[in-house]
């Protein structure tokens, strides 16, 4: 289900980038959130996920004592999958800072053990967010989905190159998660910029493969 969901989200942000729409920035942003939520719900229903309402405020303890709202979300067991949507013509790195701060507020309050909860965040934008945003997101276990940054799950699901799939699968397993970033502490040798370069390398290989497919 997760791979199909990310495929659908990636195709949506690519279409959104190419589609000219009329309306206020607020209206277009609201519509974008609704469209993403419908995609998330459609695919989450295929599993045993518990669907959460759009713009849902998650009622769990936080360090700040404040509960936070997410544009779209579902829950599988104790794992919360949360999505933040941004439809701005000039996106900034502040989006991922803000999104991560909400996740960290929950994660810093959780207690490791049988009943600990976890978060998997995905930041979705119809414009490319850039390498600084990607590097920061990778350091904290956040997925990026924009027209130039397919989630790794998309490459793993669609590539016909077995070596590329194997390399990306291995790379995905080595990336930090929110849990080990927060509960176990970052490894001292973490190089987010290098993770970003590797990510872009695999994306370029995948895009080249897709171009070759079209030429066949």
Position 115 scores a pLDDT of 63
Q: Average pLDDT over the chain, rounded to whole?
A: 88
CA 7 and chain centroid, separation: 12
Calculate what percentage of the chain has a pLDDT beyond 70. 93
Position 57 scores a pLDDT of 94
Position 44 scores a pLDDT of 85
The answer to whether 121 and 84 have CB atoms below 8 angstroms apart is yes
Residue 190, pLDDT above cutoff 80: no
Domain 2-215 = CATH 3.40.630.10: no
Q: Across residues 86-100, what is the average pLDDT?
A: 89
Nearest alpha-carbon partner for 79 in 55, 54, 101, 47? 47
Quickly list DSSP for 36-94: HHHHHHHHHTTTT-EEE-TTEEE-S--SSS--EEESEEEEETTEEEEEEEE--SS--TH
Residue with tokens 């119809």: 126
pLDDT in tens, 36-85: 999 999 988 888 888 898 888 999 999 999 999 999 999 998 889 999 99
Position 58 scores a pLDDT of 93
- Against a cut of 0.75, is the pTM above it? yes
- Domain spans of the chain? 2-215
């Amino acid at each position: 289900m997760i791979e199909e969901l990310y495929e659908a989200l990636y195709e949506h942000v690519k279409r959104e980038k190419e589609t000219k729409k009329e309306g206020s920035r607020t209206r277009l942003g609201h519509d974008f959130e609704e469209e993403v939520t419908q995609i998330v719900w459609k695919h989450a229903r295929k599993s045993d996920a518990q669907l959460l309402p759009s713009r849902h405020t998650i009622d769990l303890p936080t360090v700040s004592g404040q509960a936070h709202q997410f544009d779209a979300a579902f829950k599988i067991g104790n794992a919360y999958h949360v999505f933040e949507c941004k439809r701005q013509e000039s996106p900034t790195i502040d989006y991922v800072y803000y999104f991560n701060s909400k996740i960290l507020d929950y994660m810093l309050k959780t207690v490791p053990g049988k009943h600990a909860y976890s978060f998997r965040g995905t930041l979705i934008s119809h414009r490319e967010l850039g390498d600084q945003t990607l590097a920061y997101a990778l350091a904290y276990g956040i997925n990026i989905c924009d027209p130039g940054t397919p989630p790794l799950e998309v490459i793993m699901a669609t590539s016909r190159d077995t070596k590329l799939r194997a390399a990306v699968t291995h790379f995905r397993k080595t990336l930090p998660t929110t849990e080990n970033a927060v509960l176990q502490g970052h490894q001292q040798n973490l190089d987010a910029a290098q993770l970003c370069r590797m990510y872009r390398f695999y994306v370029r290989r995948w895009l080249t493969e897709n171009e070759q497919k079209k030429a066949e």
